[in-house]
Structure 1
Amino acid sequence: MGIAWNSHTLEVAYRVLGWTGFFLWSCSFYPQLLLNFFRKSVVGLNFNYLLLNNTKHTLYLIYNTSLYFSSSVRFQYHLKYGFDQMVPVAANDVAFSTHAVLLTGVLLFQCAIYERGNQSLSKVTIGIISLVWIIVGVCSFISLPTKSWLWLISVFNTMQVILAVIKYIPQAVMNFMRKSTDGFSIGNVLLDFSGGVTNYAQMVAQSIDQNSWVNFSGNIGKVLLSLVSVFFDVLFMCQHYFLYPSKKAASIRVKEPLIKSPLGSPVPLERV
């Protein structure tokens, strides 16, 4: 049986904010996808960022679907945090993580078919991904005898938060090394930033209604995910707009007016 809301207004705000965040975060994948499609190139988009992002969203999907659909996991959650507390995963969280896994898969496929320059996956990234799935296997084996499903998905949630921090670093460093953000969509960053703020606001609405901040401690992964996303999105915006503004405008030379020489050949007028 679900926990009742105290305020209908806050319940509506919670659902509106949740689905708005879902819309913004889901749409954030498309600017990069379309940019790659029209350029027929993924130069400027870091492969390590993409693979780490796909793995992170896969773990987040497992966490969300388990806590939202499994009665056993939900019971264990209430047993730990109290039966008067709401489960901190909404339908929009499940929808978003499902969509995210699919779209990051499409972006990885684009990397396989479009021009990519001399980019490749680093050994560090391959090592991190391998370690993550080894931990998944070991923790799953440990949780089987006691059926500690909440503990297991909490481990997954912790790892996806760690990956959320790590995943942005290769792209930020790549932008720094190239002194450019060309090839990395700023539309993706702006929508991701808006989604992070909106999802954080959704959790605040629930906490105010229930007069309890267990919502945050019970889903620390979502809290940290929103804050980390906002931090790096601000960094990317600074890189794009202030540190490394697009050089395309600078590369377009002002066409000088031409006059005809006595021999009929065009001669540029001298600048004053």
Structure 2
Amino acid sequence: MIPVAANDVAFSFHAVLLTAFTLFQISIYDRGNQKVSKIALAIVSVSWLSVAVCVFVGIPKHSWLWIASCFNALQVAMTVTKYIPQAVMNFRRKSTIGFSIGNILLDLFGGLTNYGQMAVQSIDQNSWVNFYGNIGKTLLSLVSIFFDILFIVQHYVLYPSRKEVVSPNLDVEEPKGH
């Protein structure tokens, strides 16, 4: 049996609400010249196709646990997919300016407390089922913590904020006669 606590359900509900709110904002605010990339459309299309296949295969067999496992795998894959571009962009720019480290610190705290909760429950129940019974939750926390640490190292160690940053693509001309 997969251990699911009330806070797991609350976390999922919270994530769905915030995602819906973000999608609502995307739909109403002006995007100027920005267009959705072909790669993003492909990722979204493959994700929805995966959801459809999982649902259509799982529902007739009443394989709810298998469907939940498919969704867990998709969530872990999407988490990796969303973090990689930011890490690459930080690396290419050699900067994290404009990147909110506060959310990363909160995410790291959440991931670590999640592992703490699972450890306390495992000790209390004298079983490690909290870690291997819900592999999606375990992997999601592991991936998040890995990228959180990467972003923290990028922000504070590799590319610390400087007082004055000049973009390498800008040609700045000195005013003449002043």
- Alignment CA distance shift 1:192-1:111 (3 Å): farther
Q: How do 1:29-108 and structure 2 match up within 5 A?
A: 77=1, 87-108=2-23
User: What residue number does 1:168 align with?
Assistant: 83
Does residue 1:197 correspond to 2:112, yes or no?
Answer: yes
Code of the aligned partner of 2:155: H
Matched residue type, 2:52: G
Structure 1: distance between partners of 2:152 and 2:59: 45
Structure 1 residues 99, 156: closer, same or farther in 2, change over 3 A?
A: same
Residue type at the aligned position of 1:226 = S
Distance 2:46 2:80 in 1: 16
Partner of 1:250: 164
Aligned partner (choices 103, 117, 135) of residue 220 of structure 1:
135
Task: Using the TM superposition, give the Cα deviation of residue 106 of structure 1 relative to its aligned residue in structure 2, in angstroms.
Answer: 3.7
Number of aligned residue pairs: 164
Equivalent position of 2:64 in the other structure: 149
In the other structure, the counterpart of 2:29 is: 113
Aligned ranges 1:223-238 → 2 under 5 Å: 223-238=138-153
Letter in 2 for 1:250: E
Distance across 2 between alignment mates of 1:106 and 1:175: 27
Structure 1 position 146, deviation (Å): 1.7
Q: 1:185 aligns with which of 83, 93, 100?
A: 100
Q: What residue ranges of structure 2 are gaps of 5+ in the alignment?
A: 166-178
Q: Deviations over 1:41-90 (max 9, x none)?
A: xxxxxxxxxxxxxxxxxxxxxxxxxxxxxxxxxxxx4xxxxxxxxx4211
The residue type equivalent to 2:9 in the other structure is V
**Displacement, 1:141?**
1.2
Q: TM-score, normalised by structure 2?
A: 0.81
User: 2:108, 2:148 within 8 Å by CA — same for their partners in 1?
Assistant: yes
Deviation at 1:245, TM superposition (A): 1.9
The DSSP-based 3-state class of the residue aligned with 2:161 is coil
Identity %: 63
Q: Compare CA radii of gyration and give the structure with the larger one.
A: 1
Q: Deviations over 1:200-231 (max 9, x none)?
A: 11111111111111222210111111111111
C-alpha RMSD of matched pairs (Å): 2.3
Q: Distance in 2 between matches of 1:234 and 1:114?
A: 34
Unaligned runs of 5+ in 1: 1-76, 78-86, 252-272
State the AA in 2 paired with 1:171.
Q
Deviation at 1:112?
6.3
How far does residue 120 in structure 1 lie from its aligned partner after superposition? 4.6
Q: CA deviation at 1:101?
A: 2.5
| 1:132 counterpart letter in structure 2 | S
TM-score, normalised relative to structure 1: 0.55
Deviations 1:86-121, CA, capped at 9 Å, x for gaps: x421111121222223224444526963778x7654
